[in-house]
Amino acid sequence: MTARSHLSTPGLLRRQFLAGPGASIALAALVLVGAFLATSVPRAVAALHTAALADQLATVPANELDLTTETRAHPDDGASTAGTTLADDVDAVWGRQEEVLTGIRDALPEPLRGVTGAPHSALVMGPVRAVVPGAAPSSPVYRVLPGFDPRLREHVELTSGDWPAPVDGALDADIPVDLVLSDAVAERMAWELGEVRFIDIGNVEQPLRLAGTVAAIDVADGVWTHVPSALEPSVIDNGLAPPEFTATAFVDPAAWTAFSAVNLPVTMQAWFPVLAERITADETPVLRAQLGEFSSDVHALGSGEWVGFVSTVGQVGFLSGLGEELGEAAAAAAAADAVLATIASGPIGVMVAVLVLGARVVFERRRLGLELAAARGASVGQLRGILGLEGLAIGVPAAVVGGLLGTLVVAADAGAGGWLLTTAFALTPAALMVASAPALSPLRRARADLGGAGRWRFRWIAELIVVLLAAAAVVLLLRRGLATSVAQTGVDPLLAAVPLLLSLVACIVVLRLYPLPLARLVRTTAARPGLVPFLGSARALRDPGAGLVPVLAVVVGISVAVFSSVLLGTVRAGVDRAAAEQVGADASISGMPLTLAQLDEFRAVPGVEAIAPVYSTRAAQLSIDGRARSTTLIVVDVAEMRAVQAGRPDATPLPESLAGGRGDGAGDGGVPVLLSGIVDDLVADADDVGLEGEPFQVQGVVEGATAYSPRANWVLMDRSNAEPFTDTLVPRTVLVRFEPGADGAAITAALAPIAGEGTTVVTPIDLADELAGRPTAQGLVTALIAAIVLASLLTALAIVLTLVVGRPARDRLLPLLSTLGLGRRGEQALVAWEVGPVAVVAVLVGAVLGAVLPFVVLQGIDLRAFTGGDAQPAVAYDPWLVTAVLVGSVLVTAVAVAAASRIGSRVDAARAMRTEEEG
């Protein structure tokens, strides 16, 4: 390599970089981490929202999500024109309708078409009683719903017997019609293979023969939510009459032609299955709009003609609960974004501050060489060019690598926003270093403790602006509250920055107040022997190494740690409370209908003190000044429920007057009821109200849902008053109270076999674990832990970089003091004095700020998406958690101060004096 290459611009830049690469490498590492977070965090949040959406949709029955039409009309039977995948004999009956449905689906816009499956149809008739020949009057009652599923053999497999034989021509009372039942239905109905029973179809006793039994290929297939009682029979056993069993009995789908003339009620459904696993959170707004448009249109499913007294299906509309679920998921995602943005604002501020310090360190490493170039005639533009090129060489490769790593680590799509932030990180080192170029002159150096009036005036203005911004953000946050839906407004950057703005205000307080006790300490140490305390406190007062950046780092780091720990405790307490409210007892049994025999067995389990069945949660109709509104009628035995929930803070208040009869209270003798807050708002100003046409007396109002039903819109009454409103009191939910000191796990293990398949036994602890395991709650915990760790590490790094920036001044002072006899420990103590006093004050202020922040921030951030409860959880402090996190953060800060105090605390005296003489 020639001398000319050493003196060329690239050669000089290379030599400059290699002369002190440590600072540049450290700054590049900061940029890499920032770019990694900028690309990975949005993608992780998008993946979190999609996982939360999938988790939410998984709890909703398929028939509530699918795009479904239901009609009492007959199908427009006939063969398809272009062919279908149905068997030929089935296509001859159901092909035309499937072809029309396929055309409707093909016309759907994307992404709606992509998240729906091939169309499906099913039809049931009845129910009609299937009479067992020779059965006694007290024998069980068996009812069947003759069912027709064109794709039955795709959903079930034959376990015994044969498939139903085709029906030739019209039904014949002398020829049995073959059917198949699920194994469970055949067993509960005591229907043996080959056995014939009879149904009454218009004064004709039509025989039905069980040809075979089947089992579902996939019991989780959504088709079973559309076909009632197909896999398990519906059982009514109230102890006052013989038990009734009702189930769907599948006949050959091509037999519909013969059954179409039968005078039985018909219910036909056609639907497009929703493939929830294909839905991503980013498609939510588009899907909701497309669903609304599709549901508002009508579609021709058949001719609509009348054949005698029977109508053929014509124009139909499709409905789906998917839009409502997507809306709830969007609201939950927006709430999560608001929380995450609030949590992230503090570490983001510290990251920016650390980048400023990192660029300052690189600049200080280059100062002497660049000042020499300035003294030899280099212009400010040339100096800026040199610094800018090095800044780009540091930032661009690091940002590209960090951005690519963030993209590869998290496989999700979050748009281009992350790469825009990555670009900003790539350009930040160059921008910060170029901004320092005008100060490159030895003649412009000044003491840090001296400044003109303009400098102090600017400081007052800047501090006033920060205080006003923080005050405005807090006021807006308190005024907005939880009423404004963040799903519509999005994340407000000003409100999300509340923690950072309050941290800046705290920094101002620290920087303004800590010199007061420090000045007193200087006066005290001046009158005592010993150089280090006096000199250290004096330097900390007159020439403080800890400016805004390290103070901000310590305050934000400690406050984020404390705030995150309080938020974790609040969410944990909220989850526990929500679980207790939803269970409502020591355990809850729910699922399939429960018989009186099962209730007696529950009571007999050792350790069970009492049980309280929820006898009904059926749909009911409110009449409000002539307008109809739907609600849920809850029927319980007030005495039983009060005994089970006695002493529980989550108990639903049930007045004793609910058990009174008509006319026992004030009013016109209506039935006494308890109303939910939603129903009370509906009837509050009405002049004429009724429940199923009957008057009622309001005995109380309870906000939100209860343990008896997940619905928040309900009317509750005592079992003794339920007869005019429902004739079916078959519990599907039972609340259980344990005896004091009983083994809960053993009791739930004993209850589960009695309840049987399809029924779950849940305790508050089990439900709390389930709620805490949901993606949204887990994502919040991960984010809070990451915020604590990141803020602590950035705090430590900021302290180290602060002392590295102050190293030139120590390089001049410490060697001179060492020649006067100052030892190694004294040198380290002087270094620690540079940030020690302000760090102590910042830790105290940060801890107080972190403890207070939840009361401010949670006024505008809804945590119900994380707890699963109906109400915003109250701020809860976990003393052990808060103490552990606070102690850990303080230890990280103390270790950083101790480690940084060793950096450059010893420099050769002769070298330092020579530098001063040459300078």
Answer whether 639's CB lies under 8 Å from 659's CB. yes
Contacts of 830 (CB under 8 A, 6+ apart): 532, 535, 536, 539, 810, 813, 814, 817, 822, 905
Pairing between strand 733-738 and 587-590?
antiparallel
| Per-residue pLDDT tens over the stretch 348-394 | 877 887 888 777 777 777 777 777 777 777 777 777 777 788 888 88
Answer whether 798's CB lies under 8 Å from 838's CB. no
- Interatomic CA distance for residues 367 and 390, integer angstroms: 13
Q: Which of 596, 542, 421 is nearest to 33 (CA)?
A: 421
Angle at which helices 596-604 and 744-755 pack, to 10 degrees? Answer: 160
| Per-residue pLDDT tens over the stretch 797-836 | 777 777 666 565 555 665 656 665 565 665 566 666 666 6
Contacts of 508 (CB under 8 A, 6+ apart): 463, 466, 467
- Token pair 């040199």 is at which residue? 386
Q: What is the pLDDT, as a whole number, of residue 151? A: 92
Answer whether 509's CB lies under 8 Å from 352's CB. no
Pairing between strand 196-200 and 67-71?
unpaired
Q: What is the pLDDT, as a whole number, of residue 916? A: 45
- Interatomic CA distance for residues 887 and 879, integer angstroms: 12
> If phi over 0 gives left and psi between -120 and 50 gives alpha, with beta otherwise, what is residue 669?
left
Query: First-to-last CA distance in the chain?
Result: 33
Residue 788: count other Cβ atoms within 10 Å of its Cβ. Answer: 23
Average pLDDT for 9-33: 70
Residue 311: count other Cβ atoms within 10 Å of its Cβ. Answer: 17
CA distances from 381 to 378, 390, 434, 696, 706 (A): 8, 14, 9, 86, 72
At residue 913 the predicted structure's pLDDT band, cuts being 50, 70 and 90, is: very low
- Pick 434 or 167 by higher pLDDT: 167
- Interatomic CA distance for residues 578 and 767, integer angstroms: 9
DSSP class of residue 79 equals -
Answer whether 709's CB lies under 8 Å from 684's CB. no
Average pLDDT for 243-257: 90
- Pick 668 or 283 by higher pLDDT: 283
| Per-residue pLDDT tens over the stretch 474-495 | 887 777 665 444 545 556 676 7
Q: Which of 876, 875, 592 is nearest to 752 (CA)?
A: 592
- Cα dihedral sign, 85-87-89-94: negative
CA distances from 909 to 117, 641, 813, 822, 906 (A): 81, 85, 9, 12, 9
CA distances from 394 to 549, 707, 794 (A): 22, 60, 20
In the predicted structure, residue 545 carries a pLDDT above the cut 60: no
60 CB burial (10 A radius; 0-12, 13-18, 19+): middle
Q: Which of 798, 35, 777, 778 is nearest to 346 (CA)?
A: 798
Residue 307: count other Cβ atoms within 10 Å of its Cβ. Answer: 11
pTM: 0.76
Q: What is the mean pLDDT of the chain?
A: 80
